[in-house]
Amino acid sequence: MQPEVFGIFPTPVMRVRGALGPDLVRGLVEHFSTLAKQDNNSSDNLTHTAMLRPSDSPLLVDAATQLVPHVVEFGSVLFGERLGWSLKEMWVNVMDYGGHQAMHNHANSFISGVIYLTPTHPESRTVFMKSPGGIEYSFKNDHKGVTVSPYNAERWISPQPEAGDLVMFPSYLMHSVPPNRGERRMTMPFNAIPTRLDSWGYSISFSG
């Protein structure tokens, strides 16, 4: 009998190509390029806008309208039900050459996503990694002869994105961006929350 390997409790990451059309992406870039003035403490060459809500701009209303159905779909993967979802907050990151983003996750939300607004240099793709201080073995087998698989990898590099592509992930998942080796990199991250969650009669409602 052949042995079987079961991949249990996987962490989903969803990619949606062309989630936003080129005209809307172009409008977002033109509008928010000059509004990303807040410094980021992880890099001198990374700035971002204030936290935004869809109601702050007609462009964001259009973006939210197109994004929410994808969030609902991803939410059904995470929670097993098609729930109502709202985008709690959005912002735009502007990363110039040499900029990077330190490892982090997103608090006070359930689904996080990144819309890529400009082309991304291959070395500056979003990197997802295991959370530090997890429940893995404390002594690792890590050297150049190791065959990396989903069961022993420390990180996963997202596919090469195009402008308008969307990547969504559970908000607790750690991620970072390596130093940018290309042209200006603009993204629009967001956090989303469901309208409610119900655990056998114990329910809680959320408002964005």
* pLDDT tens string 156-202: 999 999 999 999 999 999 999 999 999 999 999 999 999 999 999 99
Q: Where are the domains of the chain?
A: 14-131+151-195
Tell me the C-alpha distance between 63 and 61, whole Å.
5
pTM as predicted: 0.93
Q: For domain 14-131+151-195, give its CATH number from 2.40.50.100, 2.40.30.10, 1.10.260.40, 2.60.120.620.
A: 2.60.120.620
The strand ranges marked E within 36-159 are: 38-40, 43-48, 85-90, 93-95, 101-104, 111-116, 127-129, 155-157
**Average pLDDT of every residue of the chain:** 94
More confident residue, 134 or 97: 97
The strand ranges marked E within 84-173 are: 85-90, 93-95, 101-104, 111-116, 127-129, 155-157, 166-170
